[in-house]
Every structure is written in structure tokens, then in C-alpha cells.
Amino acid sequence: MNRRSSPLAWALLIPTLTVLSIFVLYPALQSFLLSFQDVEPFSKRSFFIGFENYKVLLNSPDYWQNIKVTFFFLLMTVIPGLVVSLTVAVLLDANPFFQNAFRTLFLLPVAISSSMAAMLWIFIYNPTAGFLNYTLAILGVHGPNWLADPNYALCAVAVATVWKEVGFNVIFFLAGLTAIPTELKEAAELDGASGWQTFRHVTLPLLSPTLFFVSVVSVINSLQSFGQIHILTTGGPMGETTTLVYSLYRDAFVKFRTGLASSEAVVLFLLIMMATVFQFRMAKKRIHYG
């Protein structure tokens, strides 16, 4: 950067840096400091207790169960979400005539709020009058109480989450597919490659930067999922949908254990950072930029 332009660049960055410092860096630092304290509810009194909050988490079977639930929820949302959205994007890219209509259709779930989406799925999952069990009854199958059965609740929330996020992924995949030169696909077809071979050896490698970006964002969003869990199951039944974020919320705003909740926030941040670093390292040799 030109030295004479540096002061101007910093001057232009000051408003953004100020906002980030007030609303991101300062709360994050406060949360980190609170994780080493025992805070009395409804008062400003706090006591330094070192790593006691972290010891409570590590010795808590419920917290390890929450980590397990979060991991399974991650698998149930990220992998199906990527597969479904990539499939939809490829089909739309092959049929440009339908792109505008279907792009709007898949974007509708993204446009509505998480609370509205969750309310819609409550009606779908209703055990007596819901559309899903009504359809199963026509087929002669007795549907369960999806949101109250420990065997189905997490899967039901995952399906609602994938439905809500798939349109976001489709838009990015469509943009990535559009950027791939058609000449490369035509050359592969002239060489006798089948549709699957063309997709595997031409489309997928060139789409890898987009796939990597979408996967990183999907993992982070999955680890931070809260709204749909809170409205659909409130962490139940029997804790089967209590993820790390929901456990953090419950300890902070229901039980008012601020110090413990802050330590959970720190652990969640570390897990998200580790997952992101892992993805970057795994994808380092597999991304092709043209």
C-alpha cells in the first residue's frame, strides 16, 4: 500500500473498527473474564474462582451429552444440506429456463425468520393434525410425535434446519457453477466423458472453492443454531436436542449462572475455531482455483 494512502485507509477503517470493538471485541473479552468468576445473580458482585467453571463443565455428564448432541446435529444438518443444495444447484444450472422461478422458491425459507419457519414446522410435525402424519396415515403408517419422541426429535429439528438454509447454499453454488467455462464441459463431452465423469472431474474440482466456503459457513451456522431448537423442542425431550448453544442460553438466562455460561461460550468459540482450522487444513490441497 502507498504510504501516503495509509492514513486515509486507517481513517476510513476507524468507524468500522470502533463498532467492532464496542459490539464484538469488548463483549468477547468480558465473557472471557467472566468465565473465571462466580457472579451473583441480580447484583454486581463477582468472585474470582479461576478454572472452577471449566472444571464443572468437564465433570458434567450432561455437558458431554450436549457435546454429543451438537456433533450429531452437525452431521445431520451440514452433510445433507450440502448434498441437497448442490444437487438442486446442478439441476437448475442444467435447466436455466427454470432458474428464476426456482431460485425464488428456494430463497423463500431464507427470507423468513427462524421463528416463523419453526412455527410452520410445528404445524407440519403435529402428531394429530400435522401434514406429515396425515400423509403417513394415508400410506398406512402410524406417525410418531416427532418433536416429543427422543428417537426422532433431533432428526426433526435437523430437517427443519436444512430446509431453512438450503436456499442460501443454492445461491452460492449457482454462482460458482455459472463461473465455470462451458468450453471445459463441452471438451469433456467430446472426449467421451459421461455426465457423472464430467461433473466429478471438471465441475466439482472447479467448484471446490465455493464448496469449501459453503461448508465452512454451514458448520459455523450449525454450531450456532438456536432459534429453531428453542421454538420446536426447548432442548427436549430428555435433553436430546440440547446443543451447546442452547445449554449456554439456559445457564445464562434461565438459571442465571453467568460465569458458567461464559465458560461455555469460550468452549464453544474454541470448538468453532478448531472446526474452521480443521476444514482449512483438510481443504488446502483439494481446492482448485482454476
Give 109-114's long-range contacts (Cβ < 8 A, gap of 24+). Answer: 109/163, 109/164, 109/165, 109/166, 109/167, 110/164, 110/165, 110/167, 110/168, 113/227, 114/164, 114/227, 114/228, 114/231
pLDDT for res 32? 92
- Report d(CA 194, CA 204) in Å as an integer: 14
pLDDT at 221 over 60: yes
- Report d(CA 31, CA 262) in Å as an integer: 5
- Report d(CA 98, CA 89) in Å as an integer: 11
Instruction: State phi, psi for 262 to the nearest 5 degrees.
Output: -65, -40
Tens digits of residue pLDDT in 155-180:
999 999 999 989 889 989 988 888 88
Closest CA to 208 of 82, 34, 104: 82
User: Which residues are registered as beta bridge partners of 39?
Assistant: 46
Tens digits of residue pLDDT in 179-210:
888 888 778 878 777 878 888 888 888 888 89
Which is it for strands 46-48 and 37-39: parallel, antiparallel or unpaired?
A: antiparallel
Helix (H) or strand (E) holding 56: helix 52-58
> What length is written for the chain?
290
Helix (H) or strand (E) holding 94: helix 61-94
Mean pLDDT of 2-28: 82
Tens digits of residue pLDDT in 51-94:
999 999 999 999 999 999 999 999 999 999 999 999 988 888 87
Domain 60-283 = CATH 1.20.210.10: no
- Domain locations in the chain as residue ranges: 60-283
- Report d(CA 4, CA 19) in Å as an integer: 25
pLDDT for res 243? 95
Task: Give this prediction's pTM.
Answer: 0.89
Helix (H) or strand (E) holding 287: none
User: Which residues are registered as beta bridge partners of 46?
Assistant: 39
Is residue 60 helix, strand or coil?
coil
Is residue 95 helix, strand or coil?
coil
pLDDT for res 65? 95
pLDDT at 151 over 70: yes
- Report d(CA 129, CA 13) in Å as an integer: 55
- Report d(CA 56, CA 54) in Å as an integer: 5
Helix (H) or strand (E) holding 186: helix 182-190
